[in-house]
Amino acid sequence: MTSHRVPGAAVAAASVTVVFWASAFVGIRAAAPHFSPGSLALGRLLSGSVVLLLFLAVRRQGLPPRAAWPGIAVSGVLWFGLYMVSLNWGEELVDAGTAAMVVNVGPALMALLAGWLLNEGFPPRLLAGIAVSFAGTVVVGLSMSGGGRASVLGVLLCLVAAITYASGVVAQKPALRHASALQATTFGCLIGAVACLPFAGRLVSDVADAPLSATLNVIYLGVFPTAVAFTTWAYALARTTAGKMGSTTYAVPVVVILLSWLILDEVPGLLALAGGALCLAGVAVSRSRPRKPAQRPLTRSHQ
């Protein structure tokens, strides 16, 4: 009988990912006053690419097999590129905790995409969970409406980030059958950087104007939440399912809210927290499985 337990190394790798991704929400919010969404994404991806290429050289891993490239290319454009730009833009308009809660409807969307693209079906709990998560994003949007159109736009941009994150994971999973975690992350990051090259001019001007601390923050985002955390994510994803990996990110909003309170002195309002809780509850419902009825023990005759 096949074990459904996640290997310990995958759990450790996923834990590293959760911590660094949580710190990224706070880092993006801190860098937002000095870098535009596109230049921040490009700076982060270029920093990450340099570190990943060094890792690749040390590990002596070359190009991924041809069969891995479609998934790497799609995840590179959607997850490394569009996700980062939309999240950066969204975090210019809403606080880090709110952004993290909205983005974490991603696991429910992963299950929806897997049902469509991988023929895994649409169980009632999945549809119910997506409905609850959608209601949560509506509540978060209403909580932001007092801040005008900009805040509502920020929630919508974070929802775009959730969609591209989910799409990128579903695209990356098949690629990991053929490529290593390091290969998939390195070339996904490089493709994302190429997609963001139109922002190169703005990046140069932003670096020239930004304080050194803000530029170092961008480098941190590239090295740890990108190069390290995306690699540990891919390592864990290769050893379990996309649904189980998505479930590990439930902890991210909690860590983000704590860090943003300690570092940025930002805490989402009560209505935003309620909406975020609905988002996460919807994800939990979508990933849950119905209980199997208890089997009655069979009576045996004594021999």
Q: What are phi and psi of 93, to 5 degrees?
A: -115, -20
Q: How confident is the model at residue 66 (pLDDT cuts 50, 70, 90)?
A: very high
Q: Is residue 299 part of a domain?
A: no
What does the alpha-carbon distance between residue 39 and residue 88 come to, in Å, rounded to a whole number?
10
The full 3-state SS of 2-68, as one line of letters, equals: CCCCCCHHHHHHHHHHHHHHHHHHHHHHHHCCCCCHHHHHHHHHHHHHHHHHHHHHHHCCCCCCHHH
Instruction: Look at the chain and report how many structural domains it folds into.
Output: 1
* pLDDT at position 291: 63
Please say whether the beta carbons of 218 and 32 come within 8 A.
no
Q: Which long-range contacts (CB under 8 A, 24 or more apart) does 8-13 make?
A: 9/235, 9/239, 10/235, 10/236, 10/239, 10/240, 11/236, 13/232, 13/233, 13/235, 13/236
DSSP state of 149: H
What per-residue confidence (pLDDT) applies to 1?
A: 38
* Six-digit token string for 112: 């929806």
Percent of residues in the chain assigned helix, strand, coil, to nearest 5: 80, 0, 20
| Identity of residue 113 | L
For residue 108, is pLDDT > 90? no
Q: Answer positive or negative: Cα dihedral of 66, 67, 68, 71.
A: positive
**Residue 134: pLDDT band by 50, 70, 90 thresholds?**
confident
Within 13 Å and on the Cβ side, how many CA atoms surround 181?
Answer: 18
Q: How many CB atoms within 10 Å of residue 210?
A: 19
pLDDT band at residue 6, thresholds of 50, 70 and 90? Answer: low
> Which residues are within 8 A (CB) of 71 and not within 5 positions of it... i.e. 6 or more apart?
171, 172, 173, 174, 175, 176, 184
What is the pLDDT at residue 177? 92
Amino acid at position 84, single letter = M
Residue 3 inside a domain? The answer is: no
Residue at 186 is within a domain: yes
Q: What is the pLDDT of residue 302?
A: 47
Q: Which residue has the higher pLDDT, 161 or 300?
A: 161
Residue 298 lies in a domain: no
In a domain, 303, yes or no: no
Whether 292 maps to a domain, the answer reads no
In a domain, 295, yes or no: no
How far, in Å, CA of 205 to CA of 270, rounded? 38
Residues 6+ apart with CB under 8 A from 236: 6, 10, 11, 13, 14, 17, 245, 248
pLDDT digits (tens, 9 = 90+) for 187-220: 999 999 999 999 999 999 999 999 999 999 999 9
Residue 242's region, left for phi above 0, alpha for psi from -120 to 50, else beta, is alpha
Contact partners, residue 254, CB within 8 Å, separation at least 6: none
Enclosing domain of residue 158: 8-287
* Residue 208 within a domain: yes
pLDDT digits (tens, 9 = 90+) for 47-56: 999 999 999 9
User: In this prediction, what percent of the chain has a pLDDT beyond 70?
Assistant: 82
Say if CB 48 and CB 234 are below 8 A apart: no
Q: Which residue has the tokens 């490394």?
A: 80
b/e string for 106-125 if b means 16 or more Cβ within 10 A?
Answer: bbbbbbbbbeeeeebeeeeb
Q: What is the pTM of this model?
A: 0.82
Least confident of 58-67, 143-152, 155-164: 143-152
Query: What is the average pLDDT across 150-156?
Result: 83
